[in-house]
Structure 1
Amino acid sequence: MDLLRRKRAASRRGFLDDQFLIAMPGMKDDRFARSVIYVCAHSEEGAMGLIINQVQQMRFPDLLVQLGIMNEQEAIRLPSTARDFMIRNGGPVDRSRGFVLHSHDYTVESSMPVSEDVCLTATVDILRAISTGRGPRHALMALGYAGWGAGQLESEIAENGWLTCPANVDLLFDSDIERKYDRILASIGIDLARLSQSAGHA
């Protein structure tokens, strides 16, 4: 894939596609306290990512009804995997917009590969597929996203707002939201109790 070749080249230039951003304990912005963000796109123009460890109150069946994908009676009869599909708070920007990060075994024309294992799709096709059990093997859905202008994310990292590390697909897609922050830190050998606010990158 040409896109993946370009992404690998971007990675060599220091871009953070397919990486986790882990909020440092001193994070000044409460919206991102103890957050883990999966970076979907990063270039000279800026960056976009999804918070993966904050839960939304809205339930997936209610969202399907709201979007007109099905009526309330159909939503009641959804299989448990779809009924219990968690919706996350992806970030403070454009909170009415939905994004699905998912394994590459499912793609539609609008799907954007982020890595060899992960794609991003932002159309209702994938919601229909998930609701009928025909969706990707692994998926997470978020409303809203986190965005940075040119140079802004690099500046926040330099000021010690974030740690960065390569994304782990298992930790990305698992549903253990409560412990995700600590588990991702532990996976790169960092003990939160000892994490200095002047630490560098992982």
Structure 2
Amino acid sequence: MTGADPDDLAAGMLLVAAPTLLDGNFSGTVVLLLDVNADGALGVVLNRPGTLPVGHVLEAWREVVSEPAVLFEGGPVEQQGALAVTLLRGPWSAGEESAQPGFREVVGRLGLLDLDTPVELVAGAIGRLRVFAGYAGWGRGQLQREVTEGSWYVVPALAEDVFLADEDHLVDLPRRVLARQPGDLAQHSTRPLDPELN
């Protein structure tokens, strides 16, 4: 796996910003893809925790959200809105996840949770929950072009990538994700963030 194949783009995959990606919205980020289709792609930045506690804006979810219990900066699009990514408790039989109220599967037990769903209906099913202010979005063919140009590495996600609690690990998430990849891709984890220092 080279990590830069547009054919790998799918919901549940990670985008790791290459050192050459200098856009301030995405430099040094890891993005979880939530939806990829012919019209474009949507995801959330995993490693930019904010400072506003979730309980200050979404009181009902205060006891359910995972640590750190703050709104994460999900991306530059619709920053006044919130997306909730959840990992349901398991194990589940096939198709059972989709029966959970307000849950839309991304991959397996990982999915989006509608924050308008009454907490009491879903609290027992939630294993982990993270809330993102805004999201990252790409139009038709845009993300494929960026991957082909080498701006992103495309790699499989693990639940621990999505729900890291330690701030130091969040900062280091791009390196941690690349270091576990096979072949040449792991070598990218040792490159400096500033390509001029390479």
The interval holding the TM-score normalised by the smaller chain is: 0.7 to 0.9
Q: TM-score, normalised by structure 2?
A: 0.75
- Larger helix percent: 1
Matched, 1:122 2:106: no
Distance 1:86 1:129, change over 3 A: farther
Matching of residues 145-160 of structure 1 within 5 Å? 145-160=135-150
Q: Does residue 193 of the first structure (1) align with residue 190 of the second (2)?
A: yes
Identify the match of residue 89 of structure 1 among 73, 93, 112. 73
1:9-158 correspondence to structure 2 within 5 Å? 14-65=8-59, 69=60, 84-105=68-89, 108-125=100-117, 128=119, 134=124, 136-158=126-148
The one-letter code of the counterpart of 2:109 is: D
- Distance of 1:152 and 1:62 partners within structure 2: 35
- Residues 15, 43 of structure 1: 8 Å contact kept: no
The code of the aligned residue for 1:192 comes to: S
**How far does residue 16 in structure 1 lie from its aligned partner after superposition?**
1.8
8 Å contact kept, 2:14–2:32: yes
Structure 1 unmatched ranges of 5 or more: 1-12, 71-77, 198-202
Q: Which moved more, 1:78-87 or 1:20-29?
A: 78-87
Measure how far apart 1:14 and its partner are: 4.5
Distance 2:67 2:36 in 1: 33
Number of equivalenced pairs: 173
Q: CA contact under 8 A between 1:60 and 1:84: conserved in structure 2? A: no
Q: Residues 111 and 16 (structure 1 numbering): CA distance in 2 closer, same or farther, change over 3 Å?
A: same
- C-alpha root-mean-square deviation of aligned residues, in Å? 2.9
Higher strand fraction: Structure 1 or Structure 2? 2
The one-letter code of the counterpart of 2:190 is A
Give the Cα–Cα distance (whole angstroms) in 1 for the partners of residues 45 and 180 of structure 2. 18
Cα deviation 1:90-118 (Å, max 9, x = unaligned):
00001111111111337743321001120
* Distance across 2 between alignment mates of 1:121 and 1:82: 14
Give the structure, 1 or 2, with the largest relative contact order (CA under 8 Å, sep 6 or more): 2
Task: Name structure 2 gaps, 5 residues minimum.
Answer: 1-6, 90-96
Report if the CA contact (8 A) 2:83-2:134 is conserved.
Answer: yes
Partner residue, 1:170: 160
Assess, with a 3 A threshold, how the Cα gap between structure 1 residues 129 and 153 changes in structure 2: closer, same or farther: farther
Instruction: Give the SS at the match of 1:29.
Output: coil
Contact map agreement 1:110 1:121 (CA 8 A) in 2: yes
How many Å separate the matches in 2 of 1:179 and 1:146? 20
| Amino acid in structure 2 at the alignment position of 1:159 | E
Deviation, 1:81, is 6.9
Aligned-pair CA distance for 1:150? 0.4
Percent of pairs with identical residues: 22
Rounded Cα–Cα distance in structure 1 between residues aligned with 2:67 and 2:105: 27
Distance 1:97 1:24, change over 3 A: same
Going from structure 1 to structure 2, the CA distance change for 1:122 and 1:143 (only over 3 Å counts) comes to: farther
